[in-house]
Amino acid sequence: MSGIGRTCRRQLRPLASALRNTRDRALGGACAVLLYHRVIDLHTDPQLLAVKPLHFDAHLALLKKRYRVLTVEEFDHHLLGRKRFPRRSVLITFDDGYADNHYAARPLLEKHGAQALFYIASGYIGSGREYWWDELERLLLLNEHLPERMAFAMDRVRIAWSAEAGDLRRQAQLAYADQLNVMRGLPAGKRERALDELRTILGPQAQRRSHLPMTVDELKQFTASPSVEIGAHTQWHPSLAQVDEAEQHMEVSGSKKDLEQLLGREVKYFSYPFGTGADFNTVSERIAREAGFLHTAANYPGFVHARSPLHRFPRFLVRDWDEAEFARRMEGFMRP
């Protein structure tokens, strides 16, 4: 292929994508699946996962006024039945299983008569422990007593700093950013061993109550609400594409079994941890399908239509936007 041909194709790509979207929308309608994580007011939020309760309340009011908020059953009817989605339809989803989903998100969903699909990382439920990325934040970013010298190496986790090399906080911040990437690719056993060791070196600090996952009792009460539908999100939240097939299988099927045992009901839905194209692969898709999940959510922007792939449909990530910003973003999501 010539250089000119390549340039021409590159220029045509946005046009081809727009045409595809227009065709899919004409045939399959469009549903914006929204991805939230937390509803809470936090002092520090390096991953930008938290939406303030005031803002979530405003989001729901706007969604109910201007959009068609689907129940999970309605979403299934259109996606699984390959039926055209209603105009301006929306599905609300949450990942991870933080306790604030029960104490803050659920009551607001109930107030507005809306339902959401909550994907839960089952290993953390009832553990009384922060999710691994939050623990890493606490150990490295919020630690008041960083040692003057650090030389840690275990599996692929490598953390080194020294007071002579400059500002300790700055070096710990860089280590945090690096190790987030490294740790997401480790199987749970190795990640836990590294965290155990880091906990010992960096000093005992209390778990933050604000960052805990739900307890078993909280999850049971939560699930009893008509505003809540439950899906699975692995046991220990790895980047599935970076671990081997046996580990993927254990994480995916294990989370389904864990939740079904806890709740005494079938769990039919799944979402990939992190969910970008680098975090799941065709093996993950097959494992999710074979585990018996009806559909699986990913995390890249795009709308869902009646022809969308069942085991990697897109979602729009929602940040802590005020009402005006959320309204603007929603209109952007709805445009092809």
Name the site residues for Zn ion (rule: CB under 5 A).
95-96, 273
Instruction: Look at strands 149-154 and 157-162 and give their pairing.
Output: antiparallel
Smallest distance, Å, CB 49 to Zn ion?
9
Q: DSSP string spanning 237-287? A: ---GGGS-HHHHHHHHHHHHHHHHHHHTS---EEE-SS-STTT--HHHHHH
Q: Which is nearer to Zn ion, 38 or 112 (CB)?
A: 38
Smallest distance, Å, CB 120 to Zn ion?
10
Q: Where are the alpha helices (DSSP H) in the chain?
A: 3-28, 53-66, 72-80, 99-100, 106-111, 132-140, 168-184, 188-202, 216-223, 245-263, 282-290, 323-334
Q: Are 124 and 97 in contact (CB under 8 A)?
A: yes
Q: How would you classify residue 166: left for phi > 0, otherwise alpha for psi between -120 and 50, otherwise beta?
A: left
Smallest distance, Å, CB 230 to Zn ion?
14
DSSP bridge partners of 95 = 119
Smallest distance, Å, CB 51 to Zn ion?
15
Q: In this structure, which amino acid lies at residue 175?
A: A
Helices 53-66 and 323-334: crossing angle in degrees, nearest 10, is 50
Smallest distance, Å, CB 136 to Zn ion?
14
Q: Which is nearer to Zn ion, 112 or 184 (CB)?
A: 184
Q: Which is nearer to Zn ion, 273 or 314 (CB)?
A: 273
Q: Which is nearer to Zn ion, 96 or 229 (CB)?
A: 96
Smallest distance, Å, CB 97 to Zn ion?
9
Alpha carbon 151 to its chain centroid, in Å, reads: 32
Q: Which is nearer to Zn ion, 96 or 218 (CB)?
A: 96
Q: What six digits make up the tokens of 19?
A: 């045409």
Q: Which is nearer to Zn ion, 101 or 223 (CB)?
A: 101
For residues 329 and 84, give the distance between their C-alpha atoms in angstroms, rounded to a whole number.
Answer: 23
Q: Which is nearer to Zn ion, 78 or 295 (CB)?
A: 295
Smallest distance, Å, CB 273 to Zn ion?
5
